[in-house]
Structure 1
């Protein structure tokens, strides 16, 4: 009997590729065949940075389709990239599926698409293929996406998604508040990019109506209010928790595993781990203040400074900084983050609060110092500081800079008050229970897998009648 075959497609960003790859790995573990579709550029990054070239396994096939831009064009121009994706990729995905379906025993039974790629759900419907949406970020963020008509009706955004005022939004009493300019699609400086991303959002909402399953990389324990607001959303996470100490697949940069040996040499609960994900960019002043704040903390630290993290072409540290911190500081370009956060020497996580990083910290019981950069990261920081109470945020000065003394002060406050660690361990226990056998997320994921495996002829008819 042929194995069920699903096609999985993420939005082409690091924070989207990793969690849906985790989902693909869970499917493979249950004997489901997966074709994983990246853009051509990201396909090269992901496959070249896999530690084991055969690490994807026999049941995962990595393929690519073009995003419509030339190889030399700037993909950090998100407006241009978004419009190109919408114009080019639907037709290319349809061509790919048609080619796959001609292969013996590989007909695509289901498309699982990142909801930011809602057009892929529409392609699947057009081709008569079962479909599921996947949301890799917080459900609080998704709730704001699914509430766009209300936001328009209330005069908070216009019909193109551009904020009309700075009034705080709170979709329910127990959900984190957010400013309109921090909405997932509205956090960009130029209106053209906001409007381009809003097209993705509108398509995501439309696509959500075309799928029987809307899977979310979160848990009821973390976001009960958001799930209550939209009961159709199904928690299956944190997916990262089920593979916390494994070698993660899907990174765009090569990890530096040597930092783990350095962590082995540090005292228990002593190290500040600092990482800002794949997108955060600092100006030189802020970068230096962060460096000097870490120095003032007088604690060992592991700092991830990826290529392109500062606006300058080269990374410039304060004069004498590297020499002064050489005995207690370690700087790497990319780290095996799940293994770092699980290490007993790590005391806290100074983070941009991307959802993947947030989940990795939560599932390891690590307190946070929150430094959100844009979009959903503000939601996530509010969860951490005000709802879960597992971390602290920073205050900016009149120039919009977080100064070195503020960094030093918050490190001391966080690590001298054991309440944050106690709360972090409490949240960890609840979240790890939900992904374990008998837990809610574990059960939901199993139900979805059974649905894929039960590939009966009536499934599609039932879906189309919804």
Structure 2
């Protein structure tokens, strides 16, 4: 394909690692199909990230108005999002002009659902438009119905209300996506979803088959997940061994050396992602729950969260556990010593665990996580939820018994069998001709005629 005729996709993630990584993986898949791709990050993120210099994806920058410190430089969430929208609208347009002047005109803008203003940027330049949702299809369907005024999210303590939507199981109040301070950001994702050319979900067909039947009647849907590096799944992209971007430096050597002498399936891996701030009371309950479980554990506690650990905890568990500030999660989840994954049920972490066949103990915190936890337990059967008390805290005894349920009890055997089944299905989705691979190939072919 001659370079001047090569379709060019500009991809715009929300400026957070949990959004950048899956969209970057999608970029790599598009490049493998002959599409030129430029991933646009904010200036601050671009300066901060540890990126792979050999990446087949091109990178561009735009401004969120906080080039020196990103979100941390802003006065508030509202202030940041307002600047991201207003300054981003202008500077993203400047990037598109710059690419055009350099002989690399853009055909399609693929933007994160958290950035609906990008739709109007694409419209101004006459580009095709695609929205990329990093949360599950089920969660996005719930939020869409809230946006349309068809349902409302019940209070967490309302034991009588349920959410009923075609293609979804019934959700009790405590299982539904949780209202939070970013409610407008989440709900306004759908302000122009009915007018885009494509809707992408980071999932695969068999994982959310029923709800996909419903949403494909609404939009031109493409499932393009799971968005993990190829060498962990289908192994068709030989250079695709990791995500290629890190906003935190993982403690690689310490983690892998510690795991290397642990028995197969004996270690509990614990991580609550790159964003969640766990309450001090909950941190203490997790700490003693892990210690009392008597299993070896590897716990990721970000630097800003370490002060919440109980006094002298790290010394007390030195023979049993390892606490690190960040980890190479994919390599840990594939290590033979790992027995289960205690997670906040962020969708990226859930997808990784499912794709790698690792049983889950779910401790959802907010946003989409309670709904993901329901699917983990009730629908996919790959894990067990640790139910919080009336204060929203999972106490140490509940965590201890939940870990034991997965690691030792009869239900744990079924969970492990289900995890192995879903691992195979995830790989099949990205094998040549699989549902996700087919969707990516078809999209790439459609771009040839943009």
**Residue pairs, 1:290-301, within 5 angstroms:** 290-301=286-297
Gaps of 5+ in 2: 234-240
Q: How many pairs align?
A: 429
- Residue of structure 1 aligned with 2:437, choices 435, 438, 442: 442
Q: Cα distance 1:181–1:297, how it changes in 2: closer, same or farther (>3 A)?
A: closer
Q: Does 1:211 align with 2:206?
A: no
Q: Which residue of 2 aligns with 1:129?
A: 127
Which residues in structure 2 correspond to 1:6-17 (within 5 Å)? 6-17=9-20
Shift of 1:117: 1.4
The CA distance in 1 between the partners of 2:363 and 2:221, in whole Å, is 28
CA contact (8 A) 1:140 1:226 kept: yes
Separation in 1 of the partners of 2:314 and 2:175? 37
Residue among 201, 205, 208 paired with 1:220 = 205
More displaced stretch, 244-253 vs 434-443: 244-253
Deviation, 1:208, is: 2.1
Cα distance per residue 1:113-168 (max 9 Å; x no partner): 11221221221122112222211110011112322354x245x27xxxx9899533
Distance 1:173 1:270, change over 3 A: same
Query: Post-superposition, which runs of at least 4 consecutive aligned residues in structure 1 deviate over 6 A?
Result: 162-165
Mapping for residues 306-455 of structure 1, pairs under 5 Å: 306-309=302-305, 315-416=307-408, 417=410, 418-452=413-447, 454=448
Helix, strand or coil at the partner of 2:116:
helix
Contact 2:147 / 2:190 at 8 angstroms: preserved in 1?
no
Residues 63-102 of structure 1, C-alpha deviation per residue, up to 9 Å, x if partnerless? 2211124745545832222222222211211121112111
Are the counterparts in 2 of residues 290 and 407 from structure 1 also a CA contact under 8 Å? yes
The 2-side partners of 1:169 and 1:76 are apart by 36
**Are 1:178 and 1:378, in contact at CA under 8 Å, matched by a contact in 2?**
no
After TM superposition, the structure 1 = structure 2 runs for residues 149-298 of structure 1, keeping only pairs within 5 Å, are 149-150=147-148, 152-154=149-151, 156=152, 166=158, 167-172=161-166, 174-175=168-169, 177=171, 179=173, 183=177, 186-188=179-181, 193-195=182-184, 197=185, 201-202=187-188, 204-231=189-216, 232-240=220-228, 242-244=230-232, 246-258=241-253, 259-298=255-294
* 1:103 equivalent in alignment to 2:99: no
Q: 1:398 to 1:443 in 2, by over 3 A?
A: closer
CA contact (8 A) 2:112 2:131 kept: yes
1:285-344 CA deviation, whole Å, 9 max, x = no partner?
2212211111111111111111223xxxx5243344222321231121111111111111
Q: Is the 8 A contact 1:296 1:408 kept in 2?
A: yes
Give how far 1:357 is off. 0.3
The corresponding residue for 2:24 is 21
**Structure 1 unaligned blocks of 5 or more:** 460-466
Alignment partners' CA distance in 1, 2:231 and 2:111: 21
Please report the TM-score for the alignment, with normalisation by the length of structure 2: 0.88
| Alpha carbons 1:272, 1:347 under 8 Å: kept | yes
CA contact (8 A) 1:6 1:35 kept: yes
Aligned pair 1:94/2:89, yes or no? no
Which residue does 1:144 correspond to in 2?
142
Write the distance in 1 (CA, Å) between the matches of 2:398 and 2:96. 53
Partner of 2:299: 303
The 1:241/1:385 distance shift into structure 2, 3 A limit, reads farther
Q: Could you say if the C-alpha distance between residues 69 and 116 of structure 1 is closer, same or farther in structure 2, counting changes exceeding 3 Å?
A: same
- What is the RMSD of the two structures over their aligned residues, measured on CA atoms? 2.5
Deviation at 1:111, TM superposition (A): 1.3
Q: Which residue of structure 1 aligns with residue 237 of structure 2?
A: none
Partner of 1:347, secondary structure, is strand
Instruction: Indicate the SS of the match to 2:318.
Output: coil
Q: Would the alpha carbon gap of residues 139 and 107 (structure 1) be closer, same or farther in structure 2, given more than 3 Å must change? A: same
TM-score where L is the length of structure 1: 0.85
Shift of 1:257: 1.3
- Residue equivalent to 2:81: 82
Question: SS at the partner of 1:334?
Answer: coil
